[in-house]
Amino acid sequence: MDLRDLDRRALDAAGAVIARVRRADLARPTPCGDWTLGQLLGHMIGHNRGFAAAAAGRPVGAEVWDDLTPPSDPRRAYTESASLVTKAFGARTLLDRKIEVFGYGTFTAATVLGMHFVDFLVHGWDVARTIGAAGTIDPGLANSAMTVARRWPTDRPSKAFGLMVEPAPDAPVGDRLVAYLGRRPDWPGGS
């Protein structure tokens, strides 16, 4: 599994959806807890910057990782942050190092790449659903993300994920992934 390639693809998929976000969308609720879309985008941009700094060996604190400030230009801010993290993750020696992730601990680079990949794949779905798009996740990416996510603790809810939701028995893998990570695949429908 080439985690760097999977991560770039998840970033690109999220970026394609974020390019469709309008300023008026920023106040909308999301499937990601009680965050508005603006806060979710602030989180995504902050995490790209935080992961980039951590991967470059210059860890930052809550001022970056916990920033939920809605961006004034979501597309530009996201694209810049995605470029930073992609560059940092592309370092030749990255996979030989351990990386400190603020609020979670120190992990192998492969674990950190997996965390970022799954997070951004699912957050791309969050954004898509928030703006009324289908939020269909590429089945190949979703299968890889499920492989990664199943390695994580399931005692939920946690800082990152909610309680697992039971998907429909015949649900596509993308729906199974978001349900595994605590989202309702039919969001905003249902009860």
Phi and psi angles of residue 179, each rounded to the nearest 5 degrees, phi first: -65, -40
Give the burial class of 28: count Cβ atoms within 10 A of its Cβ; 0-12 exposed, 13-18 middle, 19 or more buried.
middle
In this structure, the number of other CB atoms found within 10 A of the CB of residue 185 comes to: 22
CA distance 117 to 8: 8
- What pLDDT band is residue 191 in, cutting at 50, 70 and 90? very low
Give residue-wise pLDDT tens across range 153-173: 777 766 668 888 999 999 999
In this structure, the number of other CB atoms found within 10 A of the CB of residue 132 comes to: 11
185 in a structural domain = no
Q: Pick from 173, 145, 175, 106: which is nearest to 3 by CA?
A: 145
52 in a structural domain = yes
- The pLDDT of residue 22 is above 80: yes
Q: Pick from 20, 8, 18: which is nearest to 43 by CA?
A: 18
Across the range 1-11, mean pLDDT stands at 96
CA distance 116 to 3: 9
The structure tokens listed for 3 are 């985690």
29 in a structural domain = yes
CATH number, domain of 119, equals 1.20.120.450
186 in a structural domain = no
Read off the amino acid at residue 29.
P
In this structure, the number of other CB atoms found within 10 A of the CB of residue 62 comes to: 11
Residue 135: what pLDDT? 87
- What pLDDT band is residue 189 in, cutting at 50, 70 and 90? low
Strands (E), the chain: 98-101, 105-108
Give residue-wise pLDDT tens across range 100-123: 999 889 999 999 999 999 999 999
> Residue 130: helix, strand or coil by DSSP?
helix
190 in a structural domain = no
Number of independent structural domains in the chain: 1
Indicate the pTM of the whole model. 0.95
In this structure, the number of other CB atoms found within 10 A of the CB of residue 49 comes to: 20
Q: Which domain holds residue 8?
A: 3-180
116 in a structural domain = yes
- The separation between the first and the last C-alpha atoms of the chain, rounded to the nearest angstrom, is 37
CA distance 37 to 57: 30
